[in-house]
Amino acid sequence: MLEKIGRLIDSDVLVVGGGAGGLWAALSAKRHFPEGRITLVDAHMVGRTGHTAFSNAWMVMVSPEDDLDACVRDIVEGNEWIAEQELIREVLSLSYGQVLDLERMGLRFAREGGQFVRRPTRGLRVTKVLKPVGGGLEFCWVLRKALESEGIRIVERIFVTDLLQDDHGWIAGAAGIDGRSGEFCVLRAKATVLATNSVTFRAGFVRDLTGTGPVLAYRAGAAITNAEFGYLRPATPKFYFEGITFAIQDGAKFVNAAGEPFMEKYEPDWADQADVQLISKAMVMEKRAGKAPLYLDMSLVPEEKREDYLHSTVAWMDYFYKKLGERARIDMFGRTEYYPFYQMTKMAIKTDSGCRASLPGLFAAGLAQASCATHFAGFHIGACNGTGWIAGRSAAALAREVQAPAVSEAGAASLKDKIRRGFGEGHDRAEDELLFELQKLIFRYDLSILKTEERLSEAVGALAGIEEKLAATKAGHTHGFVRLRETEAMVEAAKLIFIASRARQESRLSHIREDFPKRDDRNWLRWVLLRRRGGEAEVSTEPIATPLVPPPREASP
């Protein structure tokens, strides 16, 4: 009796993670399988937490009068071909209908003369973005209400620790614990969608929130990819500032210790308007040239424009800016020291164009799914909306066809026991210290921004020490247990990042190898795949299909 082992929740489709990806996946599963039992679980409060809720929710939308093929080409080229072309085409072709659907649910978008107000976004030439008036909070809340009214079960505060598997490797749901009481939970399902976002290393502010999904999938034996790519950006540890793009348009510049602007030197065409990844790389070069510290000079933003930067439609940012001057006495419009920063990995679950992972019964949506290696402002949420819909549809189709999978009592009991063994006498903040050790490594510019084979190999070695200490660390309470499991996932992710980065012997997008400084289309229009075999990461590569946007000419032999 599984009920005796823990709290049992039975579903046809289980969605883990309630951001844009998971909310759409649950809705889509229900719409494609109306009589099905659809459950959405999240570690926190659906609609109020997670990256989507804290975002502006700018999203890509391709309307019927736009050139869909040109938009597909735009995203594929912007991704330097590291993109799942057919999936991206479907994501874009769904986007207009999804925005109309959101409007019907009650979400407000600005319209002028009946048309949606859209604007271009950094890094893309033709594709345009729009945002809900109330940002991510309103976006998530409207979707949450729609889920409730359509009969989808929402279960909160369950932290998923493992995927359940039957004897044939079929994914049969997930296991986890109640984030407060610590009660063990079995979430049995015919189809499981992971929509937990990818892994961050608690780089700062709300991006401190991390997802564990890609690591859970990897541990169960699924293929993951894009671990060598990351989201790089200039940032200051002093405060949180989302408006760099606009500030630069209004005159702000990056300058070195001598006060000289330096972006023109590295990016003659774009200068300070270059993509954030290129700014990060230029900052590293300037530091290497002995010209650090580096600053963003916001004093160049004219007085009459400054007021705009002190407000945001995103509630938390608005509070933040208001209090920055009031409480912290920080003047945003001075010269502030900036660093290139590794915000998060693009590591995600490899799927086919139906968002089906390489293990039967498992699907992926949102940033936990590997649609591409860089998302640009607006295509994060854009990709989440579309992959959510597609993953939910594929999961529903499977759940309609199959019987409930057999979850053995012994299997569930051993997962429960594994959790129990994670608790014990421990000093309260042990996981914080191990996290700090990990951060010291992963945030190093010469590991996460400028890489070499030698340094990557050393880093893998250094991780072993942290892994050992983690394995010996026990949690005294549920809060600590969750933090420990998250840190464990981050350490595993870091290892996979270093291994994948060693494998890709070229430079492309955010993956910059000092020992292979050029992009190599002839050899590297490939996915770097990682699978767990016998406890170790097995690396392989696979050509990227190019059915819609042909590869660049250099790629042909």
Partner 1 sequence: MIVDIELDKCTSCGLCDPICPADVIHMERNGDREFPAIKYPEHCVTCFNCEIFCPTQCIDVHPIVRRRPLPW
What's the Cα-to-Cα distance from 301 to each of 84, 166, 317, rounded to whole Å? 40, 60, 20
Q: Is residue 380 part of the contact set for ligand FAD (CB under 6 A)?
A: yes
Q: Is residue 444 part of the contact set for partner 1 (CB under 8 A)?
A: yes
DSSP 3-state of 170: coil
Binder of residue 439, out of partner 1, ligand FAD, none (CB less than 5 to 8 A by kind): partner 1
Position among 366, 386, 392, 405 found at the interface with ligand FAD (CB under 6 A): 366
Using CB under 8 A as the binding rule, the residues of this chain from 466 to 505 that contact partner 1 are 479, 482-483
Nearer to ligand FAD, 62 or 282 (CB): 62
Token couple for 453 = 């084979």
Binder of residue 21, out of ligand FAD, partner 1, none (CB less than 5 to 8 A by kind): ligand FAD
Position among 9, 15, 58, 226 found at the interface with ligand FAD (CB under 6 A): 58
Position among 37, 128, 233, 287 found at the interface with partner 1 (CB under 8 A): 287
Query: Tell me, what amino acid is at 138?
Result: E
Q: Which residues pair with 295 in a beta bridge?
A: 255, 337
Residue nearest to ligand FAD (CB): 19
Position among 213, 340, 361, 378 found at the interface with partner 1 (CB under 8 A): 340
**Burial letters 31-63, b for 16+ CB under 10 A, else e:** ebbeebbbbbbbbbebbebbbbbbbbbbbbbbe
Residue range at the interface with ligand FAD (CB under 6 A); choices 297-305, 355-363, 364-372, 522-530: 364-372
Strand 153-155 to 128-130 pairing: unpaired
Position among 62, 384, 390, 530 found at the interface with ligand FAD (CB under 6 A): 384
Dist. CA 10–CA 434, nearest whole Å: 36
Q: Is residue 295 part of the contact set for partner 1 (CB under 8 A)?
A: no
Q: Is residue 315 part of the contact set for partner 1 (CB under 8 A)?
A: yes
Q: Is residue 229 part of the contact set for partner 1 (CB under 8 A)?
A: no
Q: How far is the CB of 303 from ligand FAD (least distance, A)?
A: 27
Report DSSP letters for 415-465, one per residue.
HHHHHHHTBSS--TTHHHHHHHHHHHHHT-HHHHTSB-HHHHHHHHHHHHH
Dist. CA 23–CA 437, nearest whole Å: 35
Q: Are 42 and 156 in contact (CB under 8 A)?
A: yes
Binder of residue 76, out of ligand FAD, partner 1, none (CB less than 5 to 8 A by kind): none
Q: Is residue 206 part of the contact set for partner 1 (CB under 8 A)?
A: yes
Q: Is residue 423 part of the contact set for partner 1 (CB under 8 A)?
A: no
Residue range at the interface with ligand FAD (CB under 6 A); choices 37-45, 147-155, 471-479, 493-501: 37-45
Token couple for 556 = 């042909």
Position among 160, 172, 244, 407 found at the interface with ligand FAD (CB under 6 A): 160
Within 8 A by CB and 6+ apart from 149, the residues are none
Binder of residue 187, out of partner 1, ligand FAD, none (CB less than 5 to 8 A by kind): none
Q: Is residue 341 part of the contact set for partner 1 (CB under 8 A)?
A: yes
Which residue stretches of 334-429 are H helix?
376-401, 409-421
Position among 6, 17, 47, 243 found at the interface with ligand FAD (CB under 6 A): 17
Q: How far is the CB of 537 from partner 1 (least distance, A)?
A: 25
**Burial letters 478-514, b for 16+ CB under 10 A, else e:** bebbbbbbbbbbbbbbbbbbbbbbbbbebbbbbbbbe
Residue range at the interface with partner 1 (CB under 8 A); choices 89-97, 215-223, 318-326, 541-549: 318-326
- Phi then psi dihedrals of residue 340, to 5 deg: -75, 140
Token couple for 310 = 């002190």
Dist. CA 330–CA 324, nearest whole Å: 6
Position among 76, 164, 381, 549 found at the interface with ligand FAD (CB under 6 A): 381
Query: Tell me, what amino acid is at 494?
Result: A
Strand 230-235 to 224-225 pairing: unpaired
Residue numbers at the binding site for ligand FAD (CB under 6 A)? 16-22, 41-44, 49-52, 54-59, 159-160, 195-197, 206-207, 211-213, 242, 366-368, 377-381, 384
Residue numbers at the binding site for partner 1 (CB under 8 A)? 44-45, 48-50, 54, 156-157, 179-180, 202-206, 208-209, 237-240, 287, 292, 315-316, 319-320, 323-324, 327-328, 330, 339-342, 429, 432, 436, 439-440, 443-445, 448-449, 479, 482-483
